[in-house]
Structure 1
Amino acid sequence: MKSKQMVSNLYSGNRQISLKFCYFLVFSLLLSCGENNVKKVTSTQKETVENSSDTIQESGTTKTILCFGDSLTAGYGLDDIDDAYPAILQSRLDSLGLQYTVINSGLSGETTAGGRSRIGWVLNQKVDVFILELGANDGLRGVPLTETRENLQAIIDAVRSKNPETKIILAGMQLPPNMGPEYITEFRAIFPELAQKNKLELIPFLLKDVGGIAALNQADGIHPTAEGQKILAKNVWAVLEKVVK
């Protein structure tokens, strides 16, 4: 959906809302944003985002899908945020007449520890479906797997504690082979194991049919292009469809 169309829908029916959380993180990770592309969020800006979330909850009549992740969710490097998979999901839902508002809570450079630290105020709004897409930056950093697992579990627990009825979808992730066979095997296993333990819906691999394909990734070889994001949306929709229907 084009930006003009989304803006029109926002003011006419408060239907399509995309909240992009922008922080300044000095990371040298491959999934981090460059310093020139990230703005530091002041306390006033943070308050504005929180107030906007309250408005969504109070005035909207639709259910809420919150995409909580890193640069893959945030749409890093894209010319238009509407090309990121959360906005593509919104278009799909609207075309089917399904009453859902998709919120993009992706933050470039985010780790599971960072997600754990900000989950509290993100949950100030009512969330019906929570898509959890974190862990890639942990893996690229070589963060101990026990820490990644613990942080993901803490986020899941926080969502469940806030609203036990929230449906949680966990996005699986894999690492490039240069991280070492033992580490990448154990890393990949974290996601299905957490999904089984917590009875979550699982996207086996978010980057299926995109990861490692040069034509579908930006110059850095990691972040999907607009075409790549369409495939990410397809991978998410394969699981989300049965949840929203």
Structure 2
Amino acid sequence: MSARYLANRTGLQWAIGWLLAAMLVALAVPVQAQSARAKPAPAPARTVLVMGDSLSAAYGLPARQGWVALTAERIARQHPGWKVVNASVSGETTAGGRSRIARELQRHRPALVVIALGANDGLRGLPLAQMKANLEAMVRAAKGSGARVLLLGMRLPPNYGRAYAQGFEEVYRQVARQHEVPLLPFLLEPIALNRDAFQSDNLHPTAAVQPRLRDHVWTALGPMLR
């Protein structure tokens, strides 16, 4: 064989080899792209929706210092598949919560709803029967959307009259019992007897005690995230 023939043959083999390699690379790209597309997307985070008043809206404080924000931080660390949406409004009554809950449920599609309303009903001396009806409507709406419900109760000071204060507290027990939802009887229980735990208005907790409220709520909320 001549040197020219060998050179031509070697060049042809190199060209064929290069062409085959290029074809293999071209074929591999769609396969890799298809594999990337086939990779399942991460599951969306489940939402805890908090429907409360100023006690949950961190009144008088930066929002990040409130018990709801502190709870969200703990959930992010311990239950990364969950997130918290705080839809609390200062001054909210149970009637206000009832009027808003359908919109909030549609917007956030929560898996769990925390209802922390009633304090403003009590402070204004509103009819307890109406307060009960409003809480029941909220519970039914939340459960009807497929969410579980945690009810946070409140208590009134004795100057509101023994009968009204006792009836107010009983509303939460009745709603929880009749609708089979967990109840934390008194949101402010860890700090209620400590005057220094409240701001100058004697109503709203200070930043220093918000972690205690978070821990108190966590005793009921934490197990519901498992």
Q: Fold conserved (TM > 0.5)?
A: yes
Quick one: distance in 1 between partners of 2:80 and 2:159?
A: 42
Deviation at 1:60, TM superposition (A): 7.6
Q: Which one-letter code corresponds to 2:111 in the other structure? A: D
**SS across alignment from 2:55:** helix
Q: 2 CA distance for matches of 1:212 and 1:70?
A: 21
**Contact (CA 8 Å) 1:212, 1:222: kept in 2 or not?**
no
The one-letter code sitting in structure 2 at the alignment partner of 1:72 is L
SS where residue 135 of structure 2 aligns? helix
The whole-number CA distance in structure 2 between the counterparts of 1:155 and 1:142 is 20
Q: Alpha-carbon deviation of 1:229?
A: 1.6
Could you report, residue by residue, the CA deviation over 1:154-200 in whole angstroms, capped at 9, with x for unpaired residues? 1111112222xx11000011001110000000100111121111110
Alignment of 1:159-198 (within 5 A): 159-163=142-146, 166-198=147-179
Task: Please say if 1:67 is aligned against 2:50.
Answer: yes
Q: TM-score, normalised by structure 1?
A: 0.72
**Aligned twin of 1:147:** 130
- Between the aligned partners of 2:143 and 2:82, the Cα distance in structure 1 is 20
Residue aligned with 1:98, SS: coil
- Quote the residue 2:98 is aligned against: 116
Contact 1:212-1:221 within 8 A present in 2 as well: no
Alignment partners' CA distance in 1, 2:99 and 2:205: 26
**Do the aligned partners of 1:111 and 1:137 also contact (CA within 8 Å) in 2?**
yes
Contact 2:53 2:88 in 1 (8 A): yes
For the residue of structure 2 that corresponds to 1:72, the secondary structure is coil
Letter in 2 for 1:134: L
Q: Identify which of 202, 212, 215 aligns with 1:231.
A: 212
Are 1:89 and 2:71 an aligned pair?
Answer: yes
Q: Is the 8 A contact 2:190 2:216 kept in 1?
A: no
Look up the SS of the partner of 1:127 in the other structure. Answer: coil
Q: Which moved more, 1:205-214 or 1:62-71?
A: 205-214
Match of 1:219 in 2: 200
Other-structure match for 1:242: 223
SS at the partner of 1:66?
strand
User: Aligned pair count?
Assistant: 184
- 1:95 partner amino acid: R
Runs (4 or more) in structure 1 with deviation over 2 Å come to none
**Which entry has the higher C-alpha Rg, 1 or 2?**
2
Which amino acid in the other structure matches residue 195 of structure 1?
Answer: A
Partner Cα distance (1:146, 1:160) in 2: 21
CA contact (8 A) 2:76 2:83 kept: no
Deviation by residue 1:55-103 (Cα, 9 ceiling, x = unmatched)? xxxx98211001101001111000x211111111111112224321111
- Show CA shifts across 1:110-165 (max 9, x none): 001111111121111210110000000000111011010011001111112222xx
> Secondary structure at 2:87's aligned position in 1?
strand
